[in-house]
Amino acid sequence: MAARILDGRALAAELRGAIAERSTVLRTRGIVPRLEVVVVGADAASLAYVRGLESAGAKTGVEVRVARLPADGDEGQVRTLLRVLGDDPVVHGVILQQPLPAHLGIRRVAEAMPPAKDVDGANPLNFGRLAFGSGTELVAATPLAVMALLERSERSALRGVRVCVVGRSSVVGLPVALLLLARDATVTVVHRGTRDLGSRTREADVLVSAAGVPGLVRADMVAPRATVIDVGTTYVDGALRGDVAYDEVARVAAEITPVPGGVGPVTNVMLMGNVVTAAERHGPTAHDDRAS
């Protein structure tokens, strides 16, 4: 029996309504939720990404602007720009388009992200708050999208569920693992250094793959009737490919997200939700985010 499709586009459409309503309330108070996307250089993939954000913003009442630096912009310039945006009272959310050019170190740059406007959870302060389970942090949009899709799955009661997360990056794998642990799931995180990946993934009721390796997850690595969330997005010959060998895994799993049309559309909506949350918390006049 073919797996049920966990449809990210349908979920995104559903979630957009509530966020758009919150934006409307803010606008009646004279606050226009605004996201600034910091782009260093300009490659085709990042331009396409920005277009996707503009479209998601238009549907949720969030203004999306691009703050551009030249491809050879140095760390000081990025930090200065982040500080300026942090101090700008009409900006509510800031993200740094990744991957950054190789000469920029994401760790040091992320520390300059204004925490209260850090709508993709990049600043270590927000990451630390997530690890503490404080509930006040802004959490990266993709992990939130994974959780929203799981919420609509057969495994929505996550307590005691065995989850395997492939990938441990600070933007996807690790925050997904932390969010799942906070829900009392039993979490195994595997990565490039893991031996015999399949023996781990096969034990999982829920498999979340965020490796960025097309076709990494094959049918024989998936437990029968598992729920499979594919975060991977890699362009191969101009086409977007996930980590999961979709056709064969869909014959084994109970539920599966497609690529495209799974995690991606939900991620954009979650990001807009974070911008609206930041605007609700801080309004047009709060500007000293570094102190919060």
Number of H helices, E strands in the chain: 10, 11
Residues 6+ apart with CB under 8 A from 220: 198, 202
Interaction between residue 233 and ligand NAD (CB under 6 A):
yes
Q: How far apart are CA 83 and CA 72, in angstroms?
A: 19
Of the candidates 6, 92, 24, 86, the one whose C-alpha atom is nearest the C-alpha of residue 271 is 92
Q: How far apart are CA 73 and CA 51, in angstroms?
A: 22
Interaction between residue 231 and ligand NAD (CB under 6 A):
yes
For 162, the 3-state DSSP assignment is strand
Q: Which of 167, 175, 258, 273 binds ligand NAD (CB under 6 A)?
A: 167
Q: DSSP letter at 217? A: B
Stated as kind and residue range, the H or E segment containing 43 is none
Per-residue contact flags (x/-) with ligand NAD for residues 136 to 155, judged by CB under 6 A: ------x-------------
Residues 6+ apart with CB under 8 A from 113: 82, 86, 94, 96, 122, 123
Tokens 């979709």: give the residue: 246
DSSP string covering 110-126 = HTTS-GGG-TT--SHHH
- Pick the piece of the chain touching ligand NAD (CB under 6 A) from 15-23, 151-159, 175-183, 208-216: 208-216
Q: How far apart are CA 86 and CA 209, in angstroms?
A: 33
Question: Do residues 243 and 172 touch, judged by C-beta distance below 8 A?
Answer: no
Q: Which of 33, 114, 175, 232 binds ligand NAD (CB under 6 A)?
A: 232
Residues 6+ apart with CB under 8 A from 43: none
Stated as kind and residue range, the H or E segment containing 238 is none
Interaction between residue 270 and ligand NAD (CB under 6 A):
no
Interaction between residue 201 and ligand NAD (CB under 6 A):
no
Interaction between residue 263 and ligand NAD (CB under 6 A):
yes
How many positions of this chain bind ligand NAD (CB under 6 A)?
A: 25
Q: How far apart are CB 164 and ligand NAD at their closest, in Å? A: 11
Interaction between residue 116 and ligand NAD (CB under 6 A):
no
Q: Which of 53, 116, 210, 253 binds ligand NAD (CB under 6 A)?
A: 210
Q: How far apart are CB 266 and ligand NAD at their closest, in Å? A: 8
Interaction between residue 6 and ligand NAD (CB under 6 A):
no
Interaction between residue 200 and ligand NAD (CB under 6 A):
no
Interaction between residue 267 and ligand NAD (CB under 6 A):
yes
Interaction between residue 216 and ligand NAD (CB under 6 A):
yes
Interaction between residue 218 and ligand NAD (CB under 6 A):
no
Q: Which of 138, 149, 166, 217 binds ligand NAD (CB under 6 A)?
A: 166
- Pick the piece of the chain touching ligand NAD (CB under 6 A) from 13-21, 39-47, 124-132, 165-173: 165-173
The site for ligand NAD (CB under 6 A) is made up of: 142, 166-169, 171-173, 190-192, 194, 197, 210-213, 216, 231-234, 263-264, 267
